[in-house]
Amino acid sequence: MLRYLNQCSYGRGAWLLLALTALAFELTALYFQHVMGLQPCVMCIYERCALFGVMGAGIVGAIAPKTPLRWAAILIWIYSAYEGARLSYEHTMIQLHPNPFVTCDFAARFPTWLPLDKWLPAVFVASGDCAERGWTFLTWSMPQWMIVIFAAYLLVALLVLIAQPFKPKRRDLFGR
């Protein structure tokens, strides 16, 4: 399996699949926001940014998968998936254990050099309450599902990282 993951990390297809799955989750979030009317909270926006990081890793990896840029993509992927899982867990704890002393901010805080909420307000402006459970599926709220999604991204990213030293076996003419 590790040899297969190594081989996949050298091709564009796997990286594009990573970017497309993250894009599908982003489009789903925008559907929940703009069609179903579920307003994202600050934690949702930060989780959305982590998902954009995973998508960015897929794009970076697809640009030049056979160069050292692949290593940058793997590191971006691991960092984004870890931060997404951490944020989703924190968000879940806010929902499961509401406390008037532990709340989220009213607005997302982006760096002055990257004001995403000013550039794309339809995507990055928060107006919901972090403690509100507005949507559930199989009794799990959205941040709980995001923990699963980011944990899966993180697990696969770590396996791809571990697989890097495992080169594919060379086969001779008779397939041995």
CATH for 69: 1.20.1550.10
Alpha carbon distance 71, 85 (integer Å): 21
SS3 call for 43: helix
As a whole number, mean pLDDT of residues 8-13 equals 79
Alpha carbon distance 81, 152 (integer Å): 8
In a domain, 30, yes or no: yes
Over the chain, what is the mean pLDDT? 84
In a domain, 175, yes or no: no
> Domain residues for 97?
1-164
Max mean pLDDT range (67-71, 76-80, 107-111):
76-80
DSSP state of 99: B
Number of domains in the chain: 1
In a domain, 174, yes or no: no
Task: Please name which of 108, 111, 61, 101 lies closest in space to residue 87, comparing C-alpha atoms.
Answer: 108
pLDDT band at residue 95 under the 50/70/90 scheme: confident
In a domain, 169, yes or no: no
Instruction: Provide the whole-model pTM.
Output: 0.82
Alpha carbon distance 55, 23 (integer Å): 7
The residue type at 85: A
Active site positions, annotated = 41, 44, 48, 104, 130
